[in-house]
Structures are given as C-alpha cells and as structure tokens.
Amino acid sequence: MQTVYLDNNATSAIAPEVREAMLPYFSEFYGNPSSMYTFGGIVGKKVAEAREQVASLFHADASEILFTSCGSESDNTAIWSAIMTQPEKRHIVTSCVEHPAILNVVEYWEHQGYRVTRVPVDDLGRMDLDAYAAALTADTALVSVMFANNETGNLFPIARMAEMAKEKGILFHTDAVQAAGKIDIDLTRLPIDMLSVSGHKLHAPKGIGVLYIRKGIIFRPFLRGGHQERGRRAGTENVPYIVGMGVAADSAVRNMGEEQTRVAALRDRLESGLLASIPQSRVNGDPEHRLPNTTNISFKNVEGEAILLMLDRLGICASSGSACTSGSLEPSHVLRAMQVPFNYAHGSVRLSLSRYSTAAEIDYVLKELPPVIATLRKLSPFKD
C-alpha cells in the first residue's frame, strides 16, 4: 500500500541534501565548535556557514540568528526576554488562534499576574485589526502573533501589525514556523523584533530551531551556562542539526518558487476536486491570503477522527488540526474562534502538501476520500 503524506504542517521529510550534509558531523567531524584547535575550528566554520545560510533565508544578518532546539523554545525565549527586559510592563497581546507554543506560555504569565489580550478573528480567520489597535497600550510589553496559521494556512497582516506596535514602542514577535521557507520573509522590510522558526517544518530534522533577534534589541537568555551563541543560549551547539538547518534554509530559498506555483496548484486542484465531489463541504480560512500548501476542509455531519482513521487504512496521512492537539474529540480552538458551525467543525481535515507532493498522490486522495465521507455519513448519528 502506498503512503500519501499530506501532513507537512505537522512535520516534513528530511531533504536528501540535508541528510547528506549532516552525516559527516556525526562521525568524521565531531569536534567541539568552541574549541581553540583546528579540529574544532573546522566544525566552528561550518556552524558559521549554516548561520549565514539561515540569515539569507530571511534577508537578515548572521549575528541576528540564534540556534535553539525547536520552535517552542524560540517562542518561550522571545516571550521570556521581552518580559525580563521590561519589568515595568505587565501586558501581552496575542491572538486567539495561536499555536499552543504561544497560548500556553501567555496563559502561564497570566497566572503570574500579567494581563493578556487575545485578539479575535472573523469567520474567515482574519485578524480584527480594530481590536488589535485598541489592545496596544503603554503597558504592553510584547505582541506575539503568528505569521501564518498552522491549521488554516491563513497569512496575517504582519507588516501592518508590526508597524502599529512599533509606532507605540512595543516589541513585536512572530511565530513564523509555518511560513518559513514557503513565502518570502524579508526582515529588512518588516519591523519585526523577534521571529521563531522550527527546522522540521522545512525539511530539516526535528530538534533544531531558530530565533531571529533584531540588532539593538535588548535580550535576556532563557538558558544560562556557557558562552555559546554569543552568550545568548548556553549549551554545546548541536552541530549536525545546525548544519542540516543551514542546508534546509538554502534549499528553501532555491525551491520557494516551486512552493508558490506547482505546490499551490496541486493544493487548489485537491481542494476544488473535493468540494466538487463531496456535497456539504466547505473550506475554512481566508481563500486569498494563505500559505500555498495548506487547505482545511470541513465535511458536514461526520467526525474528523473517523475520517483520519479511514484515511490511514488507505495509506493517507492527514490531520484534524494542530499536531499538538490531535487525539482531542473537540473541534480545534482555531475553528471555534472562527465560529465554524459545530456540525462542520467536528468533521474538519487539514491537508498540507510539500514540494515532494505529486499529482498522482492528489489523484489518489480525490479518488478515495469522497467514498470515505459517503460511508461515514451513512453511519453517522448526526442528521440534518
């Protein structure tokens, strides 16, 4: 049975060129990059090269790139630093559709006495900019709003939101885990202070992340100990994974055009085919401003978990939303925030492609998914 992998927003395959670049640093070149001798210096130069490669993906300077273990660590570090460097400010602004890596962190700080504003979205998942503007005050320490939503693929107006924060002297952080490598993010033009990335969402391995910190931003390290990463993150550098992250970033630059053309066309073909062949189905999200690889489709009066189980038997990998909330029988907080009707929200499936997705795979899903929905509707206790 073939495997059709359409859950790339949860994780992505390690690119062959990434894997090949990493292998020597597990065996032949195992020196500590902070060492004074040549054997370590060779490794240190490779880490520096990777930092340049990641910086190039975002049109940033290499000195602004901090390597972490994952997107969640990057998010935690950004929020921690903003709070620690501004003890007089006690307010955080975020959105109601953030990933748990943000929502659970701001909830923690809320329990510590901080005030948190969660900006609402409309029925297409678009940010309420009037509510956002009203939330910004002199007491706001940080705005943290995702660049693109992991469930719907919605792209948020980050440039305008960052400008609005900057006008009031407020630090602006964005979780760009889903957007990185899929769309061009030019940090010379965007007034973003901190930006989080996770390697395994752009064909690098799990266990490596990045936090961009704009030059001049006052920063406090989340992990303390040695002087690695210019004193901004303690711990011996994870050299093989850093090397892999660099190659993945370089590969993303070269393949971004394909993401926005061929991959987007496959997504559109999949989406339109399912809507045409399955009655009482709908797309969740903004049809105009979204990632090129993502669609979130709801099917009325069926359970999302049942859809995923039947797709799994056919070798099709999909998701009912965030990978961090799978297993829950409740509709996702994102769809609830969008006020998607319950009998649709409960039957939502996220399909996310990559540059390795093929037309044959899309044809297979278009052939197999409609009968799955028809079968489940016959068995469903929910009726119109």
Give me the active site residues, please. 324
CB 6 within 8 A of CB 318: yes
* DSSP conformation letters of 158-218: HHHHHHHHHHTT-EEEEE-TTTBTTB---TTTS--SEEEEEGGGTTSPTT-EEEEE-TT--
Specify the residue for token string 């290499």. Answer: 62
CB 140 within 8 A of CB 272: no
Alpha helices in 91-174 (DSSP H): 100-111, 129-135, 158-167
Closest-CA residue to 196 (of 81, 291, 75): 75
For 350, residues 6+ apart whose C-beta sits below 8 A from its C-beta are 7, 9, 151, 152, 294, 295, 296, 318, 319, 320, 321
Take residue 383 and report the two structure tokens written for it.
């009726």
b/e map 261-290, b = 16+ CB within 10 Å: ebbbebbeebbebbeeebeebebbbbeeeb
CB 310 within 8 A of CB 372: yes
